[in-house]
Structure 1
Amino acid sequence: MSNHNHACCGPGYASPADAIQAEREKLLYTIALYTGTGIEEPDYLATIDVDPNSPTYSQVIHRLPMPYIGDELHHFGWNACSSCHGDASKSRRFLVVPGQRSSRIYIIDVAETRSPKIHKVIEPEEIIQKTNLTAPHTVHCLADSHVMISMLGDSEGNAPGGFLLLNADFEIAGRWELSSGMNFNYDFWYQPRHNVMVSSEWGAPKTYYPGFDLDDVTAGNYGHHLHFWDWSQHKIIQSVDLGTEGLIPLEVRFHHDPDSTHGFVGTALSSNVWHWHKPNGHWQVEKVIDVPSVDVEGWAIPVPSLITDILISMSDRYLYFSNWLHGDIRQYDISDPSQPKLTGQVWCGGLLSKGGEVQGRKLQGGPQMLQLSLDGKRLYVTNSLFSTWDNQFYPDLAKSGSYMLQIDCDTENGGLKINENFYVDFGKEPAGPARAHEMRYPGGDCTSDIWI
């Protein structure tokens, strides 16, 4: 990768920084939920020991419960990342952890890396009063010390939502977008060298909160657009309709190389991956991977794979994604972004009954959230998507709780293999079975860092 401006707080590659980063990669934070399980306990932030030389390897070593019940903690991010390279005073000190269902935002202080503490709570009433937004999703830090959060609904849970800004003191600074043009909102990623932000579409909170209804698809209540924004002018300059072949585009990922215009998005319901780039001054989007639906006994329609999370290795060589309903994780070589080549596949549960066991435990649910070590060799996966959708498609998850697995990745020749020595059993938590979602390394990771 060329001309990366690495942050003081971002993943560095000189020897001292390597040593610091190796130390930070011994822990992993993950959201753990009781929302929707029938257990009246608050969701919490779990600290996982991922150091194979530690006596508490693959165990939850700390739990930080939130003060409220029913937040549905979901995605979360940092107050500072590699985009802050020009400001030596910035550090990756605070996690910004929103409640997708409550619209409450928690600021978590991780100065004590192994035992985070709540620093501040931003209540939903203040957010609604100042921005008329609800349902926070993706969190990215910006180079100007702001934190930006995609919001999926208005005060009534209607689309399209917008983008919330917090200042360096975690006070609400208003909305980022000057005009919209979106039908729905979901994920976003920006690349300042190309003066662009890309955003995707899920649906209105009032549509997906209760669960998935196929009638909502035919009624046009789910998204199928990618939006390209002018980063400096805060407005959409190009929207691409992916049509029926691109229903529910979720996670968007640019190459980490800030000079590159290449990126990818996975569409959940259509179960395919699309590639975008800007070859001639205009953003172009093409479908590059298709995962066929499969007939499953008891289902009225062929079951889509439901691509729910994707990420790109720091080397920009490999793309990974999870098929939540089918049950597999795939690795593709994207050295030629327009021609991905399947190089690895592993089964971790799913409806096709191909997932096996780890340490004698049957893998319930399907692989969902992914996080990758910076060297690209350790892929972590959890299996909860969203509380009502979990209950609908994998009702046993409420009783069994989540797993967290480690997948060993061959970064030379390609290939995936479940690490049998690592299994975090969220079914054995003190208050009862919990469900794990997104994961973050204390020192930064493949899905939170943006280079400028």
Structure 2
Amino acid sequence: MSQDHHSCCGPGYASVEAAMKADREKIIYTVALYTGTSIEAPDYLATIDVDPNSPTYSQVIHRLQMPYIGDELHHFGWNACSSCHGDASKSRRFLIIPGQRSTRIYIIDTQEQRAPKIHKIIEPEEIKAKTNLSAPHTVHCLANGTVMISMLGDSVGNGPGGFLLLDENFDLVGHWEKNAEGMSFNYDFWYQPRHNIMVSSEWGAPKTYYPGFDLEDVKAGNYGRKLHFWDWSTHSILQSVDLGEEGLIPLEVRFHHNPDSTEGFVGAALSSNIWHWWKNNGHWTVEKIIDIPSVNVEGWPIPVPSLITDLLISLNDKYLYFSNWLHGNICQYDISDPKHPKLTAQVWCGGLLGRGETIKGRKIAGGPQMLQLSLDGKRLYVTDSLFSSWDNQFYPDLASSGSTLFLIDCDSENGGMEINENFCVDFGQEPNGPARAHEIRYPGGDVTSDIWV
């Protein structure tokens, strides 16, 4: 895939080998937050130099501050991706960056890649008045040029939320779903048009998770445990699968990149396991394939779960990566046989178990959380912040020390991972004080923002 985002937004899946051989990225974007800290400053979009031959390698080279305080920038995505590869008029130029707490949506113009600018702001009052939705999360471009965003609450923060559509001019269209019947909560989604299907997962209502984590909310059934399989053409739920007590808080969902495949994966955060789904005789089957045991930690009333918070699949669908935010490790599994994954490597970086490393003398204050992998499968970028109130609860030093963004070199042929000791972005040294970094995007495409149709 070309680094020139002014050309067509990306190749079809038939060109996946060319995409994997794309030029190495020169910059990446990540959102950085002051929400939830004592620093009264806006969250911002950080542009980071990742060119090893550059004098500013592993440094923040531009900061685009938002005009408001308290947005909690979280997940974000592009206006166009490989799903619209057949339309040469589409380009990967605009980032859609929602505020999880504010329900404000920023449209960012990256025409100048190293110095993005705010193009448009959609205010929360308009969103809530027109759609009765709040708490935007996952952003995906659709093949017809529209943008879809999962919304985790109604206008006052109750579940189940829904899915918001923006047109090509970034104006509100309304809901994607015909109704939310059968959905208790909302979180992430991924679609596969060749199979007329979309899969969505469940976190909880904003009113529940905004203040922080309370085990009593789990007992009260205030957190999700279902996967929903939607008819892509009718925008209605075909089938819901209750993962039960072993599948609490299913978060990130990932299909294979190959659009002919019906195989996919989801990580159940609290239960600390990975589930695999596939289509079987017209029915969607889901089964657990990986368990990460909880660990006794001094001072904790219960064994500490690993808390699987992010996962992704390499572009060639060979490797699955996921982060264990509380334990402090990242796992790489060979999923050539999706039903029988094999652990090929793991690295320790932060976490509560005391096994994390320092990078360039900098201790990781949180646990490995957001992951982003290059199209060639060789560079995995990692940040350590989850959500402001949860950070404050589980890693109270993170607000004062700031995040780290670090790089793991991956063996895309034989398996294996190693922390790159030459790359570390220290968000503890930012001009306005320590900041917390979250999701990461590549201008030229990455393995979680591109969907092939």
- Whether the TM-score (by the shorter chain) exceeds 0.5 is yes
Q: Secondary structure at the match of 1:70?
A: coil
The alignment of Structure 1 onto Structure 2 pairs a total of residues equal to 445
Q: Return the letter of the residue paired with 2:105.
A: I
Task: Give the direction of change, closer, same or farther, for the CA distance of 1:364–1:192 in structure 2 (3 Å limit).
Answer: same
The residue that corresponds to 1:198 in the other structure is 199
Q: How big is the shift at 1:279?
A: 2.5
Contact persistence 1:267–1:307 (CA under 8 A): yes
Task: Give the direction of change, closer, same or farther, for the CA distance of 1:16–1:214 in structure 2 (3 Å limit).
Answer: closer
Instruction: Encode CA deviations 1:422-445: one digit per residue, 9 max, x unaligned.
Output: 000000000000000000000111
Q: Return the letter of the residue paired with 1:437.
A: H
Structure 1 length-normalised TM: 0.97
Q: Secondary structure at the match of 1:75?
A: coil
Q: How big is the shift at 1:17?
A: 7.0
Instruction: Encode CA deviations 1:119-149: one digit per residue, 9 max, x unaligned.
Output: 0000000001110000000000001111000
The residue that corresponds to 2:318 in the other structure is 317
The residue that corresponds to 1:261 in the other structure is 262
Mapping of residues 97-136 of structure 1, within 5 Å: 97-136=97-136
Q: How big is the shift at 1:11?
A: 5.5
The residue that corresponds to 1:59 in the other structure is 59
Task: Give the direction of change, closer, same or farther, for the CA distance of 1:247–1:35 in structure 2 (3 Å limit).
Answer: same
Contact persistence 2:73–2:100 (CA under 8 A): yes
Q: How big is the shift at 1:360?
A: 1.3
Task: Give the direction of change, closer, same or farther, for the CA distance of 1:19–1:232 in structure 2 (3 Å limit).
Answer: closer
Q: How big is the shift at 1:8?
A: 2.6
Tell me how far apart the structure 2 counterparts of residues 236 and 55 of structure 1 sit (CA, whole Å).
Answer: 52
Mapping of residues 400-411 of structure 1, within 5 Å: 400-411=401-412
Tell me how far apart the structure 2 counterparts of residues 15 and 281 of structure 1 sit (CA, whole Å).
Answer: 28
Q: Identify the range of structure 1 (277-286 vs 387-396) with the bigger mean alpha-carbon deviation.
A: 277-286
Task: Give the direction of change, closer, same or farther, for the CA distance of 1:20–1:27 in structure 2 (3 Å limit).
Answer: farther
The residue that corresponds to 1:165 in the other structure is 165
Contact persistence 1:11–1:444 (CA under 8 A): no
Q: Return the letter of the residue paired with 1:358.
A: I
The residue that corresponds to 2:253 in the other structure is 252
Ranges of 4+ aligned residues in structure 1 off by more than 3 Å: 11-21
The residue that corresponds to 2:4 in the other structure is none
Contact persistence 2:364–2:403 (CA under 8 A): no
Instruction: Encode CA deviations 1:20-53: one digit per residue, 9 max, x unaligned.
Output: 9426x11100000000111000000000111111
Instruction: Encode CA deviations 1:158-201: one digit per residue, 9 max, x unaligned.
Output: 00000000000000001000021200000000000000000000
Q: Return the letter of the residue paired with 2:337.
A: D
The residue that corresponds to 1:432 in the other structure is 433
Tell me how far apart the structure 2 counterparts of residues 353 and 20 of structure 1 sit (CA, whole Å).
Answer: 38
Instruction: Encode CA deviations 1:90-147: one digit per residue, 9 max, x unaligned.
Output: 0001000000000000000000000000000000000011100000000000011110
Q: Return the letter of the residue paired with 1:401.
A: G
Q: Return the letter of the residue paired with 1:77.
A: G
The residue that corresponds to 1:49 in the other structure is 49
Q: Return the letter of the residue paired with 2:83.
A: S
Tell me how far apart the structure 2 counterparts of residues 237 and 202 of structure 1 sit (CA, whole Å).
Answer: 20
The residue that corresponds to 1:175 in the other structure is 175
Tell me how far apart the structure 2 counterparts of residues 16 and 212 of structure 1 sit (CA, whole Å).
Answer: 42
The residue that corresponds to 1:34 in the other structure is 34
Tell me how far apart the structure 1 counterparts of residues 117 and 381 of structure 2 sit (CA, whole Å).
Answer: 24
The residue that corresponds to 2:378 in the other structure is 377
Tell me how far apart the structure 2 counterparts of residues 261 and 448 of structure 1 sit (CA, whole Å).
Answer: 18
Q: Identify the range of structure 1 (411-420 vs 202-211) with the bigger mean alpha-carbon deviation.
A: 411-420
Contact persistence 1:264–1:273 (CA under 8 A): yes
Task: Give the direction of change, closer, same or farther, for the CA distance of 1:209–1:18 in structure 2 (3 Å limit).
Answer: closer
Q: How big is the shift at 1:215?
A: 0.2
Q: 5+ unaligned residues in a row in structure 1: which ranges?
A: 1-6
Q: Secondary structure at the match of 2:399?
A: helix
Q: Return the letter of the residue paired with 2:200.
A: S
The residue that corresponds to 1:3 in the other structure is none
The residue that corresponds to 1:231 in the other structure is 232
Task: Give the direction of change, closer, same or farther, for the CA distance of 1:69–1:316 in structure 2 (3 Å limit).
Answer: same
Tell me how far apart the structure 1 counterparts of residues 55 and 362 of structure 2 sit (CA, whole Å).
Answer: 21
Tell me how far apart the structure 2 counterparts of residues 175 and 408 of structure 1 sit (CA, whole Å).
Answer: 40
Tell me how far apart the structure 2 counterparts of residues 99 and 332 of structure 1 sit (CA, whole Å).
Answer: 33
Task: Give the direction of change, closer, same or farther, for the CA distance of 1:443–1:303 in structure 2 (3 Å limit).
Answer: same
Q: Secondary structure at the match of 1:165?
A: strand
Tell me how far apart the structure 1 counterparts of residues 179 and 103 of structure 2 sit (CA, whole Å).
Answer: 22
Tell me how far apart the structure 2 counterparts of residues 346 and 275 of structure 1 sit (CA, whole Å).
Answer: 23
Task: Give the direction of change, closer, same or farther, for the CA distance of 1:16–1:377 in structure 2 (3 Å limit).
Answer: closer
Tell me how far apart the structure 1 counterparts of residues 411 and 19 of structure 2 sit (CA, whole Å).
Answer: 21
Tell me how far apart the structure 2 counterparts of residues 61 and 16 of structure 1 sit (CA, whole Å).
Answer: 31
Task: Give the direction of change, closer, same or farther, for the CA distance of 1:326–1:121 in structure 2 (3 Å limit).
Answer: same
Tell me how far apart the structure 2 counterparts of residues 291 and 315 of structure 1 sit (CA, whole Å).
Answer: 25
Tell me how far apart the structure 2 counterparts of residues 72 and 11 of structure 1 sit (CA, whole Å).
Answer: 33
Q: What's the C-alpha RMSD, in Å, of the aligned pairs?
A: 1.6
Contact persistence 1:11–1:443 (CA under 8 A): no
Tell me how far apart the structure 1 counterparts of residues 357 and 346 of structure 2 sit (CA, whole Å).
Answer: 14
Q: Return the letter of the residue paired with 1:61.
A: I
Q: How big is the shift at 1:295?
A: 0.1
Tell me how far apart the structure 2 counterparts of residues 15 and 210 of structure 1 sit (CA, whole Å).
Answer: 42
Taking only the aligned residue pairs, the percentage that are identical comes to 78
Contact persistence 1:188–1:198 (CA under 8 A): yes
Instruction: Encode CA deviations 1:200-239: one digit per residue, 9 max, x unaligned.
Output: 0000000000000000000000000000000000000000
